[in-house]
Amino acid sequence: MLSPKKVKYRKMQKGRMRGKAIRGGTLVFGGFGLQSMECGYLTAQQLEAGRIAVNRYIRRGGKMWIRVFPDKPVCKKPAETRMGKGKGAPEGWVAVIKPGRILYELEGVDEQTAAEAFRLASYKLSLSTKFVKRGEGA
């Protein structure tokens, strides 16, 4: 499961997800990619499920890169707890995603295989995505 080994602070403020992705919007490693179309959180479990879906489909074909990492802790208070008494305990890890961010990249497979693999991965994610290839928009 993806999570940081060590962090300076256990809890983090929510912050705001406004605007487009400033960096991470172009293909760097592979020829094909899966690009985010909206902003939101991707949990460590969702990212891992997407990775497994792609690897199962391409079998021993190409090489894959995950371009995002869940380094933001999400805190929750227990159910049926009254207001106040401080912030809840860290529950899990998420990656903050903005529109235009490349989530996964793939190399060493043909376009049809990559498109199908990323279609299967997109079902595991909570954001809308699109398939991109090198030299075409990304």
Note the pLDDT of residue 135.
80
Note the pLDDT of residue 72.
95
Query: Which class does domain 32-75+91-133 fall in?
Result: alpha beta
Distance CA 118, CA 57 (A): 9
Q: Is 60 helix (H, G, I), strand (E, B) or coil?
A: coil
Distance CA 53, CA 39 (A): 22
Mean residue pLDDT of the chain comes to 93
Residue spans per domain, the chain: 32-75+91-133
With contact defined as beta carbons under 8 Å apart, do 112 and 51 qualify?
no
Q: What is the pLDDT of residues 25-42, one digit of tens each?
A: 999 999 999 999 999 999
